[in-house]
Chain A
Amino acid sequence: MESNSVWIIIHRMRIPLLVIIITFAISILGLTLIPGQDDKGNPYYMTFFDAFYFVSYMATTIGFGEAPYTFTYPQRLWVSACIYLTVIGWFYGIGNIVALIQDKKLARELSIARFRSKVRKLGEPFIIVLGYNNVTKEIINRLSNEGIRTVVVDKDEEKVEEIELENFIPEVPAIAADTTKPHTLKLAGIHQKNCQGVVVLFEDDIKNAKIALMCKLLNKRIDIIVKSTTKENTEHLRNIGIRHIENPFKIISDRLYFEIAAPYIWLLEMWIFGHILRIRKREFLPKGKYIICGAGRMGKALAEGLERAGIEYVFVDINSEEYKQRKQSAIYGDGEDIKILLQAGITEASCIIAATKDDMINLTILSTAKKLNPAIYTIGRENALEDISIFKSARIDKIYILERILAKYTYNFIARPLANKFIRLIHQKDNRWAMNTVGKLSATIGQNPLLFEITITEESAYALTKELQKGTKITLEVLKRSRANWRKKNKILFLLYENQEGERRTTLLMPEDSIEVKVGCSLLIACDEEAKEDFEYIINNYYELYYVLTGQEQTVGLVGQLLPKSA
């Protein structure tokens, strides 16, 4: 009996049960002692069975009448006393049961027990997500599509109800509990073998660090994805051995830098996240003077990016909270504001970034700026995911949504580790390399290549693993061949090759065709729909693999041997 709910029930039912037993006992005993009269007028004593039977239906107010014979007056006197005694005892018991059903403590214990059993029953690998909000909701959705299960803990009961109403498929077990307690993490299955990671993306850095440390201590093996927005905190997290630390401001800063200094690296990165493989005209950032409105963490991060790219910029310090307090309005752009913008040089600036925490202020900053300088390039920060449509219709050139960026990065880290590594590697390349790569990609596959990654194992690539285990040398070139004609190539490119042999890890960006495929190696692949289908056939189906290897049909069984061989 490990569940607390059973104990709560037992504990609460003790007194009512005692009351029922004692009242029954007294009534039964009295009935057996009082003499009665049978139908012939002879004196008779009720047996224990008669008395038990009578009291049972009397106490429960079923009332079948006087049995086995009509009662005498002394008996009736006793019974009328018993009625009040037992019926009150009985109702007290029933009342207690009803109260128990409505008991909050019990309901909570029951929900914990349900949650625990759901988590235990998860057969697939799963991720624990702490806190439920727009970011984690998007992560959960994306992971669900990939077949990765999630478990959510949020301290807010309402949020948990929201998850239940959301009807995620497959189901996402959720519970309302204090996320900073080790007990909660254990409940969410952090010790389970199939628990792969914990996602900690709270606003508060200190809280994140605390939880991350706790997770690390509870289970060394799992991945911890934690948000950290300051350098000191990041350092601290690295020291305790956490590999994946997400700083949305750093990501933004890098993005802005690449967008200006190396747009093709930026394009490759954006393509990984689902952008089309082409830079639209309005996506090229101007290289003139920038105005950053809002000097918070976001503003500073953007400034850092601009500095790296060697772009001139000025800050216009707008603190959204203070602004709303002072002006009693969230609409930016009165006479005073315009003066400030003019002073900052809005008329000759080429780009303005509205990076405050308030969406309304951001919107109005940009519209005011456009009025003052119609040619200016506008970049806005969007905070709440809900009203994205307003921003879209406001004709802002570029929108940064921190939450969405965070969600995408987290998803990438969990579900597409190679793509994540690819982004890290291309950041070290230069624009020309990226431009060549983009050129190669669009020349072979087109402007909308599919991206997927695979690790060669018996499960994912049956035929290929078997063939490799036989000792056959297979190069990447073989995997590019078409199923229809082995001399022709499919529209497929390998972006990243990684192989771990003992201690040595080989990671190759854009591997050559002559690289040999090994069992256990991982590949990041760009291709079109048809090539993906071919690729999957070739690595899984022995006959297809044999054909692309040799150009001949494999013959099987008696029929195969009898038929003449043909090329």
Chain B
Amino acid sequence: MNIQKVISGFFFILAMTTNFGFFYGNPANIEYHSGYELFAAIVVNLIATILKLGDKTQLGSVLLATSLVADIQLVGAATVWALAVYVFGGLDLEATVAIISMSGGALLANIVSVLLFIGDTLKSKR
């Protein structure tokens, strides 16, 4: 067992699951989506990104790219939320849908990342 693999695998998959937890539910109703869940998703995604830094291989670069995509989308979602509440005076339907769909995009990137990670692990002989 490789302790480094355990840690990185843990964060990659946790990034995906927290992302899913936020995304799941009626996209038109913000009540079904917890802000804490989004916060957790962002933090875990950032940590996953840092863990992916510094891997010079081809696979490492693609993994890093997926993580960066997820980061941008999740931070984007949080920014839209903050803007809607504090600048445009309340969360309307459009903003809600935008937040959820952005997190959906991030989820897709996270799924790709996890798939790549699993594929690489299966290929490894050790």
Contacts and interface: CB of A to CB of B under 8 A. Distances in A.
Interface of A: 7, 10-11, 13-14, 17-18, 21-22, 25, 28-29, 32, 47-49
A25 B42 CA distance: 9
A373 to B, nearest CB: 74
B103 to A, nearest CB: 14
Interface of B: 35-36, 38-39, 43, 46-47, 50-51, 53-54, 56, 78, 82, 85-86
A21 B56 contact: no
Contacts of B46: 21
18 contacts: A10-B53, A11-B53, A11-B54, A13-B53, A14-B50, A14-B51, A17-B53, A18-B47, A18-B50, A18-B51, A21-B46, A25-B43, A28-B39, A29-B39, A32-B36, A32-B39, A49-B82, A49-B86
Interface of A is mostly: helix
B53 A48 contact: no
A49 B85 CA distance: 10
A16 to B, nearest CB: 10
A17 B78 contact: no
A546 B53 CA distance: 70
Contacts of A25: 39, 43
Contact of A7 (B36, B47, B56, B78): B56
Contacts of B51: 14, 18
B54 A17 contact: no
A7 B85 contact: no
- Which of B36, B47, B53, B56 has the most C-beta atoms of chain A within 10 angstroms of its own C-beta? B53
Contacts of A17: 50, 53
B39 A48 contact: yes
A14 B43 CA distance: 15
Contacts of A47: 35, 85
Given A7-B54, A21-B43, 8 more contacts: A14-B50, A14-B53, A17-B50, A21-B50, A32-B36, A48-B35, A48-B39, A49-B86
A13 B85 CA distance: 34
A22 B86 contact: no
Contacts of A29: 36, 39
A316 B53 CA distance: 71
Contacts of A48: 35, 38-39, 78, 82
Contacts of B53: 10-11, 13-14, 17
Contacts of B78: 48
Nearest to B38: A48
Contacts of A13: 53
A110 B36 CA distance: 43
Contacts of B56: 7
B79 to A, nearest CB: 9
A10 B54 contact: yes
Contacts of B35: 47-48
A279 B36 CA distance: 97
A544 B71 CA distance: 72
Nearest to B44: A25
B38 to A, nearest CB: 8
Contacts of A28: 39
A48 B99 CA distance: 15
A22 B51 CA distance: 13
Contacts of B85: 47, 49
Contacts of B47: 18, 21-22
Contacts of A22: 43, 47
